[in-house]
Structure 1
Amino acid sequence: MTLAHAQYLFNEGRNVQAYHFLGAHPQLEGTAFRVWAPNAAQVSVVGDFNGWQGGVHVMHSLGRGGVWEALVPEAGPGSLYRFEITNRDSGAVLTKSDPYARGFELRPGSAAYVVAPSQYRWGDAQWLQQRASWDWQHAPLNIYEVHAGSWMRHADGRPYLWRELAERLIPYAVAQGYTHIELLPITEHPLDESWGYQATGYFAPTSRYGSPDDLRAFIDACHAAGLGVLLDWVPGHFPQDDWALARFDGTALYEHEDPRLGLHADWGTHIFNYGRHEVRSFLLSSAHWWLAEFHFDGLRVDAVASMLYLDYSREPGQWLPNRHGGRENLEAIDFLRELNTMVHGEFPGALTIAEESTAWPQVSRPTYVGGLGFSMKWNMGWMNDSLRYFQRDPLFRRWHHDEVTFGQVYAYSENFVLPLSHDEVVHGKGSLSGKMPGDAWQRFANLRLLLAWQAFTPGKKLMFMGGEFGQSREWSEGRELDWELLAEPAHAGVQRLAGDLNRLYRDLPALHSQDFAREGFEWIDCHDSEHSVLSWLRWGRDGSFVVVAVNFTPTPLTGYRLGVPHPGRYVEVLNSDSTHYGGSDLGNGGAIEAALGEWMRRPANLAITLPPLAVVLLRPVTA
C-alpha cells in the first residue's frame, strides 16, 4: 500500500492497519515518524537524540489529511521521543506522546521509545489453524481472569515478567482446567490503580512486565500448552493526562469538544469521538494490532454500555440526544459493528466479548440481522442476582427463590458468559468468600456451592484469580494473591473443587455443548422454594444428560424424590459436600438407582440425599 493510499484510507476511517503508516518506524537511514495533528501550525520530533529541543527535527505536512512526517537519522531503536505541537490558532505549544507508539518507558516516565521490528519467531501456526475452524459455540470456554502484576510476585514485591509468568501461571491454569486466560488491560497506562482501564498507549504493551517480544513469548507458550489468551481492551474512554491523547493538537481531536458528549464524569475520562473517521481508524487499528502482532485469541471489550447510551450515568440536561432525538450513540453503534465485522473477518476463530450491563438487544447476534456482532456478552444479570441471593441468610432464601430461577427466562437471548469477575472483589465489595453468610463452615460451603452453581448453569465461564481458592481479602493490585491460604484445608478444598468443576465442564458435552441453546437445559423442579432446592437436567448435543440438584440451605434432605428421563443406575459424579473439598461427606454412596414410575411428568424417579449447602451431579450409567 502506498503512503498516499494509506493516508486516504486513514482519513476515510477505513485503515484498520494504520500502525503501518503512523508512529515511529526504524529504517536504515534512521527513524521515520508520522503523526496526525490536523490543527497544528508546526510539529517537531523531540527526544534524547536532540536534547528534547523543538525546532531541530521539524516535521513536514503530507497535505490536507493532517498527517506530519519526518525522517530523523539520529533516532533508532530505544530512542526516547515525543512530539512538540504548536497549535495553529492559539500558538500554544504542547508536548505529546505518540498515539501509535509501540513502547513507553517505565512509569513514572511517559515518553515513548522507538521499537525495533520484532524478531520473535512464532511457533503457534497449528494453534491458529485449529482456531480458525473452532466451533466455539459448542465447545467449553472457561476463562481465568488475571491481573498480570498481582497474580504472583517476587519476595521483594516485584511483579513477575512475562517469561516468569509463563513458567508459573501457564502450568497452574492448565492444571486447574481452564481453557483461556484473560489479561486485564496491558495497554500502557501510567497509574497502577487503574488496572489498565485508563490507557495511554493503545499500541504499546506496558513495560511493567518486559518487552513486546516477551509478551509474544508468553502468548506463544500459552498456545503451546493449549490455552487461549484474551485481552481486556478499552475503547470506551481515555484519561485526561495532558501528555497523552487529550486535546492532542490543542483541540478536541480524539474526544468531543462538548463535555455533554465527551466526558465521563464518573471516571474523569474522555469519550472517543466515534463519528470521526480518523478516530475509528485509530481504534480499529489498535484492535487489529493486538490480534495480528501478538496473536491474542480475542478481545473482551470493556464498558460497552457506556458507549451505547448518550445518557449513560447522566442526569437530564447533561447529555445531547442523537439526530433522531434518541439516547442511542449511533456513531458508537456503527463503530462496534465495524469492529466485530473486522475481527471475525480477518481473524477466524477470534472472539469478541462485550461487557454490557443493560438489556440492549442482540449484542451477540450478527450484524447482518441487526445485532452488534459480538461473539458473546457478559451476563451481568446472572452475576448480580446470584451474588445477591448467596449473600442472604439461608433462612430467608425461600422468600427470594426467583433470584436464582429468573435467569432462565432470558438465558438464551444472547450468547452469555457467566462472570465472577474482578469488579465483584474491589472497591469495598470484599472477596467472594467474604460475601458468604454464616459461620466459617457455612461460608466455605456457600462458596463451594457458588462455584458449582456457576459451573452447572448454562453459559461460558469466567473466574477472577483468587476466587478459585477462596481468597479471603479483597483484591489489591499492589500485592500478590494470598497463596499461603492453600496451606489451610478449607481453601485447598475449594481449589480442588474448582479444578474438578472445570474439568467436568470441559469433559462432559452435556455441560457445555448447548450452553447457548434452550434444548440444553430442562428444569426438573424450579418451584420448591419451601426447601430452597432447585433441580434440572443439562443435555448435550449427543443426547447425553446429567442431573443437577442444589440445596441452598444448611439443612440436609434425605429421600428427596426427583423425576428423571429413564430408570437405571446414576453415578454421583460430583458432590460439593465431599470431605475432599472440605465438606461433611453426606451423599449418595457413589451411585443411586432410579426406579420406573412416573414422577414430575417423567417416566422414572430416584430418591436422593441432598447435603447441606451443596450441589450433587448425577450421570446415568449407559450399557
Structure 2
Amino acid sequence: MTDPYIEAHRDAIDRRIALIERTARQLAGDHADLADFAAGHEYFGLHFRDGGWVLREWAPNASAMHLVGQLSDWQVRDDLAFQRLDAHGTWELRLPADAMGHGDLYRLHLQWPGGGGDRIPAWARRVVQDPDTLIFNAQVWRPDTPYQWRSDPFTPPQGAPLIYEVHIGMAQAEGRVGTYAQFTAEVLPRVVAAGYDTLQIMAIPEHPYYGSYGYHVTSFFAPASRFGTPEELKALIDAAHAAGLRVLIDLVHSHAANNEVEGISRFDGTDYQFFHSGDRGRHVAWDSRLFDYGKPEVLHFLLSNCRYWLDEFRVDGFRFDGITSMLYLDHGLGKAFTSYDDYFNANVDEDALCYLALANQVIHAVQPEAITIAEDMSGMPGLARPREDGGIGFDYRFAMGVPDHWIRLAKDTPDEQWHMGGLWFELNNRRHDEKTISYTESHDQALVGDQALVFRLIGDAIYDHMHRDDRHPQVERGVALHKMIRLITLATAGHGYLNFMGNEFGHPEWIDFPRPGNNWSYHYARRQWHLVDDPDLKYRQLDRFDKAMIALARQWAVPGSAAPRLLWEHDEDKILLFRRAGLIFAFNFHPTRSFSDYRFPAPEGHYGIVLDSDDGAFGGHGRVDHAVDHVTLPEGADPHIIHRLSLYLPNRTALVLAPQGSS
C-alpha cells in the first residue's frame, strides 16, 4: 500500500497477512484451493442424488435430529431420523425419490441436552411463509424443467460501474410487494433506458421481517420467496445480462437475525454454534446475532454462501453490507475515526478482517470478473487494495462521506453559505490508492426519519408545484440544485457512481416499509413511476437530465479516469471549475448572481457545450447559447503563457464543455 501513514503499523499488517494466509491453508486442507473448499452448499442441505434424496446439516450439540413435514403429517417419526456421521456434528438422512416431491414443506426437529425444538435447515435453498398462519417452512424445490440460461456466457461491461440500486418489493407503484417477474417486465427496461450498466439488488437472501430492508437474514441460501420463485429471480438476472447489465446483490454477512426457528440463532441449542457466545454475540443496536469469524465451520458456511450465489444465480458480485460493524468490537457505533491507531488497535476484530479477505479470494477465484464493494464508514485502509499489496481484496469501497455531506448541507446550511473549497475537499476526500464509488444518496438517505435529498431541497412545495410551467421559487431552487449536486458528484466520483431507484427523477417523500408504527401501510414502500411518466411534470425533466448526464459519463468514461484537476474555485462567487476526462465542468452555485464573462485558466483550444443543466428540456431557463464556439485566449502578448476561457455562467447552473472536434 502506498499510504505513508501505514508504515508505522507494518507489524500489525504483517500479522494480519500471516493470519489470512495461515487460515486459507488450514481451510483448504486437501482441496486444490480455497474455492473448492467453499462448496458446502453442494454437500449440506437437501439434494437429489443418485435417484434419491439426501439431507445434511451441521449441528454439533444436537443429540437427535428428525425430518418433519408434509411427508410425516408434521409428526416426529423414527424412520425419518438422521444419522450422526461424525464427532464433528454432521447429520445425514437419505430417502427414496418418492418420499418428497416438488413443493412439499418440511423442517427439522432437533433435540439437545436440556431441550429441543423445530428449525428451518440452515442450508435450505427455498423457504416460504404460510399467508394465513405466517409460519415459515423449508420447501422442496425441484421443478420438472431446470432453468435454461439464455445469456450464457455473459461478459460484464468494462470500465467504472454506474450502479442503479433497487429493491424488488418496493420497485412497483401499487401498495403491495413487487415481484421478480414484475420487476423484469416493468422496471428493468427503465434501468436500461436510463443508461446505467449495473443493477445492485437489495434484500435477496430470505428475511422474515419485510421492514428489515433485507438486513435481518434468516436463510442465507434461500432467495426471498415473497418476491417469487428462484426461476423468476434467475430470469431477472438473465434479462439484465441480455441487456448488458451486471447484477450485484447485497450480501449481509455482518450479522444475522435473532430468529431461532426460521433462523440459525441457537440452531443446535447453543448460542455459540455460528455466533460468539454471550454479549459479544449480540448486536444490541441492531437486535441481531454476530458471527464468530474465527470458527472454521462458520467460515465454511459464509464462504460457501458467497460461492452459492455466483454458481446458482450467476450474480456478478456483491455489496458487502455493514463492514464497519464487522471490523470493530464496538461496531464503530458513535465513533469518530481520527487516528490510524483506530485501525490497528485491540478494538479491531482481525478474524472478521481475515474472513473478508478470504471471501474476496473465493469470489474472484470463482468469477474473476466479479466485483465486490465494501460498505465501510470508518475508512479502514487497505480494504480495496489487492491481496498482493497487503490489502483485503475488495474491488471498490463506497465514498460514504459524500452523501452525508450533501445531507448536512441541505439540512443545515443555506446554499448561499455553501463553502466551495470545503465542498471540493469533501467530494475528493478519498483514499487515492483504493477505488471508490460515490453517490449523492442511496436508500440509506431516504429512510423514514430522514428525507430524500430532493425533499430536503424543495419541502412541501413538491406536492403542489411540480408542473413544468409552475415557477415556484422553492421548487426552482430545488430542481436546479438537484441537477447540479448529482452532476458534480458523478463528475468527481473516483471509480464508479450509484443512484437509488427513483432518486434520479426526484422521487418525493421517504422510504418506509409496513410496520406497526404506520399501521402496516405500503404507501411509502413503493415507487411512483407515474410521476416521471407524466410529460407535464418536472420529474420528467429531471429524469431527462439524469439520462443525459449518465450518457455523457459513459461516453467520456468520466468515473475511472484520472482524478479531476481544479481550474478555479471562488467562494464568494460560488464558482467551481475543474477538468476531467478531457471535459471542463463549470458550476455556479450562486443563488442569484449570474456572470456574463467569467474568465478562468483552461487548456488551449476550442470548446463546445455538451451538457447544460439550465437547458429548457431539463426544467431550466434556457439562458445559455449552445452554438457559441468557446475559444481560449492567451493572457497578454506572450502566446506561451496561461490561456483563459470566458463563459456565461447563469446562477445555479452547471455546464460541461468538450473540446470541439472530439467525440
2:398 corresponding residue in structure 1:
378
**Counterpart pick for 2:62 among 40, 46, 56:** 40
Contact 1:489 1:582 in 2 (8 A): no
1:615 corresponding residue in structure 2:
654
1:301-334 alpha-carbon deviations (Å, 9 max, x no partner) = 0000111111225699xxxxx9x97111011011
Q: Which amino acid aligns with 2:455?
A: G
Q: What is the rounded CA distance, in whole Å, between the counterparts of 2:181 and 2:60 in structure 1? A: 41
**Counterpart pick for 1:449 among 484, 490, 507:** 484
1:494-550 alpha-carbon deviations (Å, 9 max, x no partner) = 0100111111111113x1341xxxx44211013x111111110003xxxxx000011
Q: Which amino acid aligns with 1:76?
A: G
Contact 2:587 2:653 in 1 (8 A): yes
Query: Residue 94 of structure 1: CA displacement?
Result: 1.7
Q: What is the rounded CA distance, in whole Å, between the counterparts of 1:553 and 1:604 in structure 2? A: 25
Q: Which amino acid aligns with 1:512?
A: P
Equivalences for 1:245-324 in 2 at 5 Å?
A: 245-251=264-270, 252-259=272-279, 261-313=280-332
Equivalences for 1:98-137 in 2 at 5 Å?
A: 98-106=121-129, 108-116=134-142, 119-127=146-154, 130-131=155-156, 136=158
2:461 corresponding residue in structure 1:
none
Contact 2:28 2:36 in 1 (8 A): no
1:512 corresponding residue in structure 2:
559
Query: Residue 446 of structure 1: CA displacement?
Result: 1.1
1:82 corresponding residue in structure 2:
107
Say whether 1:553 aligns with 2:578: no
* TM-score normalised per structure 1: 0.89
Structure 1 stretch displaced more, 13-22 or 142-151: 13-22
2:456 corresponding residue in structure 1:
435
Equivalences for 1:543-582 in 2 at 5 Å?
A: 545-555=582-592, 556-568=594-606, 570-582=607-619
2:14 corresponding residue in structure 1:
none
Query: Residue 576 of structure 1: CA displacement?
Result: 0.6
Q: Which amino acid aligns with 2:84?
A: S
Change (3 A) 1:242 1:149: same
Describe the SS at the equivalent of 1:279: helix
Say whether 1:239 aligns with 2:257: yes
Q: Which amino acid aligns with 1:533?
A: I
Describe the SS at the equivalent of 1:475: coil
Q: What is the rounded CA distance, in whole Å, between the counterparts of 2:613 and 2:162 in structure 1? A: 19
Q: What is the rounded CA distance, in whole Å, between the counterparts of 2:445 and 2:334 in structure 1? A: 26
Q: What is the rounded CA distance, in whole Å, between the counterparts of 2:334 and 2:632 in structure 1? A: 61
Q: Which amino acid aligns with 2:251?
A: W
Q: What is the rounded CA distance, in whole Å, between the counterparts of 1:612 and 1:390 in structure 2? A: 18
Unaligned runs of 5+ in 2: 1-26, 336-341, 459-472, 514-521
Contact 1:104 1:111 in 2 (8 A): yes
Q: What is the rounded CA distance, in whole Å, between the counterparts of 2:428 and 2:332 in structure 1? A: 28
1:452-471 alpha-carbon deviations (Å, 9 max, x no partner) = 12221133111001101111
Q: What is the rounded CA distance, in whole Å, between the counterparts of 2:635 and 2:431 in structure 1? A: 29
Change (3 A) 1:604 1:368: same
Q: Which amino acid aligns with 1:499?
A: K
Q: What is the rounded CA distance, in whole Å, between the counterparts of 2:45 and 2:29 in structure 1? A: 13
Contact 1:30 1:76 in 2 (8 A): no
* TM-score normalised per structure 2: 0.84
Contact 2:253 2:302 in 1 (8 A): yes
Structure 1 stretch displaced more, 157-166 or 203-212: 157-166
Contact 1:254 1:279 in 2 (8 A): yes
Q: What is the rounded CA distance, in whole Å, between the counterparts of 1:315 and 1:186 in structure 2? A: 29
1:24 corresponding residue in structure 2:
46
Q: Which amino acid aligns with 1:463?
A: N
Equivalences for 1:19-418 in 2 at 5 Å?
A: 19-27=41-49, 29-56=51-78, 57-73=80-96, 74-87=99-112, 89-90=113-114, 92-106=115-129, 108-116=134-142, 119-127=146-154, 130-131=155-156, 136=158, 139-154=159-174, 157-243=175-261, 244-251=263-270, 252-259=272-279, 261-313=280-332, 326-391=346-411, 392-398=413-419, 401-410=421-430, 412-418=432-438
1:482 corresponding residue in structure 2:
528
2:466 corresponding residue in structure 1:
none
Query: Residue 6 of structure 1: CA displacement?
Result: 11
Q: What is the rounded CA distance, in whole Å, between the counterparts of 1:458 and 1:309 in structure 2? A: 27
Contact 2:317 2:370 in 1 (8 A): yes
Q: What is the rounded CA distance, in whole Å, between the counterparts of 2:624 and 2:409 in structure 1? A: 24
Equivalences for 1:489-508 in 2 at 5 Å?
A: 489-508=537-556
Query: Residue 476 of structure 1: CA displacement?
Result: 3.0
1:418-458 alpha-carbon deviations (Å, 9 max, x no partner) = 12200000031112211116711101111111121222113
Change (3 A) 1:374 1:13: closer
1:27-84 alpha-carbon deviations (Å, 9 max, x no partner) = 4654211110001111111111102222431101011121101113322322211111
Say whether 1:593 aligns with 2:630: yes
Query: Residue 612 of structure 1: CA displacement?
Result: 2.0
Contact 1:468 1:495 in 2 (8 A): yes
Q: Which amino acid aligns with 1:611?
A: P
Tell me how large the CA RMSD over aligned residues is: 2.5
Q: What is the rounded CA distance, in whole Å, between the counterparts of 2:352 and 2:36 in structure 1? A: 15
Describe the SS at the equivalent of 1:266: coil
Q: What is the rounded CA distance, in whole Å, between the counterparts of 2:547 and 2:141 in structure 1? A: 40
Q: What is the rounded CA distance, in whole Å, between the counterparts of 1:315 and 1:224 in structure 2? A: 44
Change (3 A) 1:409 1:475: closer
Q: What is the rounded CA distance, in whole Å, between the counterparts of 1:499 and 1:462 in structure 2? A: 14
Contact 2:410 2:453 in 1 (8 A): no
Describe the SS at the equivalent of 2:544: helix
**Counterpart pick for 1:524 among 567, 578, 587:** 567
Change (3 A) 1:598 1:295: farther
Contact 1:564 1:602 in 2 (8 A): no
Query: Residue 387 of structure 1: CA displacement?
Result: 3.0
Q: Which amino acid aligns with 1:72?
A: L
Q: How many residues matched?
A: 587
Describe the SS at the equivalent of 1:82: strand
Query: Residue 353 of structure 1: CA displacement?
Result: 0.4
Contact 1:567 1:605 in 2 (8 A): no
1:542 corresponding residue in structure 2:
none
2:506 corresponding residue in structure 1:
470
Change (3 A) 1:7 1:149: farther
Q: What is the rounded CA distance, in whole Å, between the counterparts of 2:643 and 2:431 in structure 1? A: 28
Q: What is the rounded CA distance, in whole Å, between the counterparts of 2:423 and 2:202 in structure 1? A: 29
Structure 1 stretch displaced more, 573-582 or 413-422: 413-422
Q: What is the rounded CA distance, in whole Å, between the counterparts of 1:290 and 1:209 in structure 2? A: 17
1:70-109 alpha-carbon deviations (Å, 9 max, x no partner) = 113322322211111111x32x012111111010113633
Q: What is the rounded CA distance, in whole Å, between the counterparts of 2:150 and 2:630 in structure 1? A: 51
Query: Residue 245 of structure 1: CA displacement?
Result: 0.6
Contact 2:205 2:221 in 1 (8 A): yes
1:319 corresponding residue in structure 2:
none
Describe the SS at the equivalent of 1:571: strand
Query: Residue 222 of structure 1: CA displacement?
Result: 0.7
Contact 2:602 2:644 in 1 (8 A): yes
Unaligned runs of 5+ in 1: 317-321, 540-544
Q: Which amino acid aligns with 2:152?
A: A
